[in-house]
């Protein structure tokens, strides 16, 4: 979240352009583009299941991967809060 990022380290100074660029990358990955990729991955799991070639490991890896990608901002915020920053 851009407001959180600006409130916790500044959105000014020498690193502001870099912070903006990195925030744009995070927004791209966790936004509509990432959602569409996740949908395609789940569709791929469906096709593997139709063909009888779906392993539980593959299904679990895709599900955990999707959870990590979209949960990353919350996970990191909770880790930072846990160490008192």
**Per-residue pLDDT reduced to its tens digit, 38-84:** 999 999 999 999 999 999 999 999 999 999 999 999 999 999 999 98
Does residue 3 carry a pLDDT above 60?
Answer: no
| Residue 26, CB-side half-sphere exposure with 13 Å CA sphere | 16
Which position has the higher pLDDT, 37 or 2?
Answer: 37
Burial zone of 63 (CB within 10 Å; 0-12 exposed, 13-18 middle, 19+ buried): middle
Cα angle value 45/49/53 (rounded, 5°): 100
Q: Is the full-model pTM beyond 0.95? A: no
Specify the length of the chain in residues. Answer: 85
Question: Which pLDDT value is given to residue 13?
Answer: 87
Does residue 29 carry a pLDDT above 90?
Answer: yes
């Amino acid at each position: 979240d851009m407001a959180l990022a600006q409130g916790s380290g500044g959105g000014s100074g020498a690193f502001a352009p870099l912070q903006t660029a990195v925030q744009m990358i995070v927004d791209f990955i966790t936004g509509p583009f990432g959602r569409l990729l996740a949908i395609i991955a789940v569709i791929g799991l469906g096709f593997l299941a139709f063909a009888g070639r779906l392993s539980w490991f593959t299904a679990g890896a895709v599900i955990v991967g999707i959870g990590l990608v979209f949960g990353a901002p919350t996970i990191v915020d909770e880790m930072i809060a846990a160490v008192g920053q």
